[in-house]
Amino acid sequence: MNPGDLLTRPLYRLYESRLLAGLDHSRLPRHIGVIHDGHRRYAREEGLPDYSSSYRVGMAKFVELLHWTDELGIPAVTCWLLSKENLRRPAEELEPYYEVLIELFEHMPSALAGRDMSVRFIGSVDQLPPRVSAAAKRLEERLAVGANRVTIALAYGGRQEIVDATRDLIGDLLDEGVDPGELASRISAEALAGHMYTADLPDPDLVIRTSGEARLSGFLLWQSAYAEYVFVDVYWPAFRRVDFLRALRNYTQRERRFGR
C-alpha cells in the first residue's frame, strides 16, 4: 500500500459516508450508462509494464461498479467495454484486451454471486474472435436471470444500432404484409424505439464518461437523447466510489426538462 493511502483512505471513507447520507435516493437514476475510457493513458502515467495491466485494473473496477449500483438499488446499468471502431486497431493492441475480457467474463459469475443481477450483451458480438464471443455467450447463459440488469456493449456502435433497428423494423413490416410503397408511412420514432438493442429497458437517465473526454462517441445515441451527462476527469482504472457518488449527487441535483 502506498504510504499516502494510510492517510487518505479514512478521509475518503468519511467523504463517501457524507455523500451517501446526502443523496436523495428517491431521485436516483433507473438506468446508468458508463463509457469506460482512459485505460492506456492510465498505464502510461502510472508506468505500468503493459496495457494488459491497466485493462485488468479497469475490469476489476468494472466489477466494483456493479457492486455499487446493486447496493444502491439501481436496476439497470449499461457499460461500453469495446466500440465497433476499436475493432480497426492493430491485432497486437486488441489481442491483450480480448484476453482480459475473457478473464473478466469467466470471473463475473463468482464476482456477482449472491446478487440479483443478470447480464446480456449488445453490439456486433459476432464480429469478435470466436473465443471472445463464446465467452460472452457462456456468461449470458450463466447469468441469464436477475432483477437488476447489466448490459455490456461490446463491438458496439450507436449508428450501427440505429441501422440495425431500421432494418429489423422494415423486415417485420414486410413480414406483416405491408406494401413496400407504404413502408415509409409506418416508420416512426416509437416504432424504431421498439427495435433498439435496449428496447426492454428504460432509456438511460445518466451517462458517465471518464478520462476527461466530453463527448458520447456514439454511445446509446438514440436512447440518450434526454439523458443527463457527467464527464469525470479521472481515467477509468482510477475511478473511485467517491467519483461515482459525486456523479450521482450531481445528477440528483439537476432539474430534468426532457427537451421542454
For domain 29-157+203-252, which architecture applies?
3-Layer(aba) Sandwich (3.40)
For residue 205, the model assigns a pLDDT of: 97
Phi, psi of 23 (to 5 degrees): -75, 135
Cβ-contact 201, 221 below 8 angstroms: no
pTM of the model: 0.93
Q: How many residues make up the chain in this entry?
A: 260
pLDDT, one tens digit for every residue, the chain (260 residues): 455 565 577 888 888 989 988 999 999 999 999 999 999 999 999 999 999 999 999 999 999 999 999 999 999 999 999 999 999 999 988 999 999 999 999 999 999 999 999 999 999 999 999 999 999 999 999 999 999 999 999 999 999 999 999 999 999 999 999 999 999 999 999 999 999 999 999 999 999 999 999 999 999 999 999 999 999 999 999 999 999 999 999 999 998 877 66
Give pLDDT, residue 4.
53
The residue extents of the domains of the chain are: 29-157+203-252
- Spatial distance between the Cα atoms of 225 and 204, rounded to a whole number of angstroms: 9
* Residues designated as active site: 37, 86
- The alpha carbons of the chain give a radius of gyration, in whole angstroms, of 20
* pLDDT confidence of residue 11: 82
Q: Can you give the pLDDT at residue 133?
A: 98
CA distance 51 to 212: 19
Residue 256's pLDDT is 81
Residue among 128, 116, 140 nearest 66 (CA): 116
